[in-house]
Amino acid sequence: MKKLIIGFVGTGGMGQMAHLSNYAQLTDECEIVAIAETRPEQAKLVAGRYGISKIYADHRDLIANEKVDAIIAAQPYRRHSIILPEILKAGIPVFTEKPITLTVEAGERLAALGEDNGVLHMVGYHKRSDPAIEYAKDIVDKWKASGEYGRMTYVRVSMPPGDWVGGMDKPLESGEPRPNDEFEPFGTAFDDAANRKYDEFVNYYIHQVNMTRHMLGEPYKLAYADPSGVLLSGTSDSGVCSVLEMAAYTTSIEWHETVLITFEKGFVKVELPPPLARQQAGRVMVMRDNGKGAPEYTIPVMPNMHAMRNQARNFLAAVRGERPPTCTAREAVQDLKIAEAYIRDMYQHAVTK
């Protein structure tokens, strides 16, 4: 296995908690040689914590001075369209958080730029890398192929707001003021109020929009947008119904995210941990009832590995060419199209009601 040389662009809270802390443990697979951080004291704190010897003021300096196999650009998504073009044009495989950008137009440009330059851009939908989701997806694909449990009938994803941090330690913070960075502006599709709602939606629920497609195994379109903001319904290309349940209720110290995939003669259900929980995988239940005996319930034991750690391994494997990225830039644009359609339809229903 080739040991990859990695550069980090950004050392904020998510950069440390979700990414740097996980890549730093994969010493057999990668070496983090440099970080780019606009706040000098923040850079020193983080570099000292993880034993990284080289610090650069920004991504341009890192690209110019280091030969890296890949870059983890742990940036706010409204920074992606600002900094990623230079990384992609340099031919360096890159990982970013979700969503790919704020607007569909900016996402289309980034996806095309990566394709035109033949550069891998993996978008961080970490829930796809949860061992429980990987297990469930394997079963779903086998059932679809064999037909043993009938046709797929329904995909339901539910994620009420809750304690998403899940006891994670606080990141290192120097207390320096944030730089006056350039951010992608709002698009022209909506007015100010709808744009703010759209921004909130893609920040919080784009994971679940993506997970729905992942489990369907095919594209889907918006069917209905509940004007109260609780429910989003979709229909896949082959006619399978899907539902995303959002803020039907909230929890203060728990996390209640679930994914349910049903067939005519069985279902697969996953309960996911808080997004930042330490090395905790989801839980899976599989029900089989194909009429050949009593219903059978299986609850497999998952490894003690969180989705963020496994996602890091999946990205490194994609850079080495061992397997495809868990989510490409091109697919990630489809999530923004669903989000735009949802906000547009929700506001139309609210106006006409």
Position 329 in a domain: no
Same domain, 162 and 219: yes
Same domain, 89 and 168: no
Alpha helix (H) ranges present in 90-164? 104-116, 131-146
Mean pLDDT confidence for 10-14: 94
Position 284 in a domain: yes
Mean pLDDT confidence for 143-150: 97
Position 194 in a domain: yes
Q: What percent of the chain has pLDDT over 70?
A: 99
What pLDDT score was predicted for residue 348? 77
301 C-beta neighbours (distance < 10 Å), count: 8
Same domain, 169 and 316: no
Mean pLDDT (the chain, rounded): 96
* pLDDT at position 353 over 50: no
Query: Three-class SS string for 156-218?
Result: EEECCCCCCCCCCCCCCCCCCCCCCCCCCCCCCCCCHHHHHHHHHHHHHCHHHHHHHHHHHCC
Same domain, 144 and 274: yes
At 311-348, the pLDDT tens digits run: 999 999 999 999 999 999 999 999 999 999 999 998 87
What pLDDT score was predicted for residue 349? 63
**CATH label of the domain that carries residue 164:** 3.30.360.10
Same domain, 110 and 230: no
Same domain, 52 and 167: no
Number of domains in the chain: 2
**323 vs 315: CA distance, rounded Å:** 9
Domain that holds residue 252: 128-307+335-352
Same domain, 297 and 153: yes
Same domain, 88 and 144: no
Position 330 in a domain: no
* pLDDT at position 352 over 80: no
- Residue 319 structure tokens: 């850079």
* pLDDT at position 2 over 90: no
Mean pLDDT confidence for 34-43: 96
Same domain, 142 and 277: yes
Position 171 in a domain: yes
At 231-255, the pLDDT tens digits run: 999 999 999 999 999 999 999 999 9
Same domain, 263 and 174: yes
Q: How confident is the model at residue 350 (pLDDT cuts 50, 70, 90)?
A: low
At 246-304, the pLDDT tens digits run: 999 999 999 999 999 999 999 999 999 999 998 999 999 999 998 888 999 999 999 99
* pLDDT at position 180 over 90: no
Identify whether the C-beta of residue 75 lies closer than 8 Å to the C-beta of residue 49.
no
At 88-98, the pLDDT tens digits run: 999 999 999 99
Same domain, 230 and 257: yes
Quote the pTM value. 0.96
Same domain, 94 and 205: no
